[in-house]
Chains A and B, each alone.
Chain A
């Protein structure tokens, strides 16, 4: 029973990490109309940043603001320097350019750090188990990740739903021309969305670093899963990404434990079902 409960919590926490990654992805698709295959690499960069920061300073917690600030800056630079120009390109060009970014990011990682697996220790302050129900105890760090992801998700939904800038992001996700008609600076919104998406993916990578090893190509699995989340949730929909990420995270986690051979196939199969039922996603308004 305790084991099953632990898997449910693991699934929840995996799903929330997946939400941090895919919410950025879905907004970048929705608002900018750009397909970014290198989004998974940003997750990998965040994880390696945590490994480096924790190694240099001995303070894992510094890695989280470093990932967020670094992500905002890196994302803004990428958007201004590259993705702004990709927007006008055809899908094929976008696929290949962002595929090239994956290769170059991985090569840069190999040159700057190395090609080895690395463990990032769980911060000592949270390296204990918390009794949850009865005799069942759960890792305090994993609970902290749950709480941080929920707080970030809540903050993001509040920002997108309640603020003026959030309203224009929603408007842009529905219809990018509307933003221009409303007299808002669409270019600023693009930079903001891309920078936030990068920061969220890198934060997810930093949070995940102590949970799994840090290794080359670690973003690849997350890339596929977050694409599936975006398809199931509907392009540009934050609420859709949230529920779809929880669903995918749960199925993938439980699948890996109870039916390890079928987990990857089950997630793709679920996407197939959604496509049969609602080709534009569960939460799309179209």
Chain B
């Protein structure tokens, strides 16, 4: 997977600066929109470790995202983010360990199908039982930040918080992909059997990627719960996993920063689509067809 050079990072930094300056010139609605794009970007970026990194296509990922979001609900009101963030990552990471151990026993089509089913199992857990407050979703008390946030300051604070979290996640993954671990994952993506023959613990490496990726999805879900103060079982549905895959492909499967571009492009396309037609599924369907059939290398590979 391509990691951006310093020059590429200048462009990403410019984008981040633009977002950070939004409180100065943008209406709250657009800051909220930017926040949801940032959360989508975190979610897709966490999946990129698996998909672009190790070549694994998982449909369970929304389950970990939703689990992270529901952690805030399960902790009850009055917890601090310094508790809820580690708790969300831990819970999602533990679930990813259990599901990964089973799903990674399979390959190819079977992996797709088993991750789909396990993701839906998490969905059923919150949709069918009373564990998560019911099938229609539930409003939650936000975990406390260091200081009290007034209602009018929320769009600004959450925009900056989400931007900071995404940046942190991106640079952690950027570092990680440069290590031996990242190299080994790339080896697995290209030729799993050869890596095994060379004596690498392929199963262990894939599981480690699955767990880290699940825990990061939990962080993204936590930020969604913090921003929206609302969780619903729909967060865990497999359509969301497919959307994350779409953002990855749209942005560029071969680039670490691809999912960020993809998330913003999809959010923008939806927003534009909404102003033209009520048929949201049509817009999304057309975006997918364009991404798969025309933009073979994604937005990140536009100039190559």
Interface residues of chain A, those whose CB is within 8 Å of chain B, are 29, 33, 35, 37, 89, 91-93, 95-97, 99-101, 103-104, 106-107, 110-111, 224, 227-228, 230-231, 235, 260-265, 268-269, 271-272, 275-276, 279-280
Contact = CB atoms under 8 A, between A and B. Distances in A.
Contacts of A106: 281
Contacts of A272: 102, 118
Given A97-B292, A104-B281, A224 B116 contact: yes
14 contacts: A92-B253, A96-B242, A96-B245, A96-B288, A97-B289, A103-B281, A227-B117, A265-B124, A269-B121, A271-B117, A272-B102, A272-B118, A275-B106, A276-B102
Contact of A265 (B109, B125, B285): B125
A231 B125 CA distance: 21
Q: Which of B51, B117, B253 has the most CB of A within 10 A?
A: B117
A104 B128 contact: no
A264 B120 contact: yes
A275 B116 contact: no
Nearest to A89: B292
A251 B264 CA distance: 43
B105 A100 contact: no
B272 to A, nearest CB: 17
Contacts of A33: 109
B123 to A, nearest CB: 8
B112 interface: yes
A230 B113 contact: yes
B295 to A, nearest CB: 12
Given A95-B112, A272-B102, A107 B120 contact: no
Contacts of A97: 288-289, 292
Q: Is the interface of B mostly helix, strand, loop or mixed?
A: helix
A36 to B, nearest CB: 11
A260 B128 contact: yes
Given A264-B128, A265-B124, A96 B249 contact: yes
Nearest to A101: B285
Given A91-B112, A275-B114, A100 B289 contact: yes
B209 interface: no
Contact of B242 (A89, A95, A280): A95
B117 A263 contact: no
Interface residues of B, number: 42
B284 interface: yes
A92 B249 CA distance: 8
A275 B123 CA distance: 20
Interface in B103-139: 103, 105-106, 108-110, 112-114, 116-118, 120-121, 123-125, 127-130
A254 to B, nearest CB: 15
Nearest to B290: A100
A97 B288 CA distance: 7
Contacts, number: 116
A96 B292 contact: yes
B44 interface: no
Given A235-B109, A272-B102, A275-B102, A100 B288 contact: yes
A97 B112 CA distance: 15
B263 to A, nearest CB: 15
B245 A265 contact: no
Interface in B136-181: none
B224 interface: no
Nearest to B127: A264
B47 to A, nearest CB: 11
A263 B105 CA distance: 24
B282 interface: yes
A11 to B, nearest CB: 18
Contacts of B303: none
B117 A228 contact: yes
B256 interface: no
Interface string B221-248: 0000000000000000011001001101
Contacts of A91: 57, 108-109, 112
Nearest to B123: A264
A48 to B, nearest CB: 16
Nearest to B120: A224
Given A92-B248, A96-B291, 13 more contacts: A92-B245, A95-B112, A95-B242, A100-B292, A224-B120, A224-B238, A228-B113, A231-B117, A262-B129, A264-B124, A268-B117, A268-B121, A272-B118
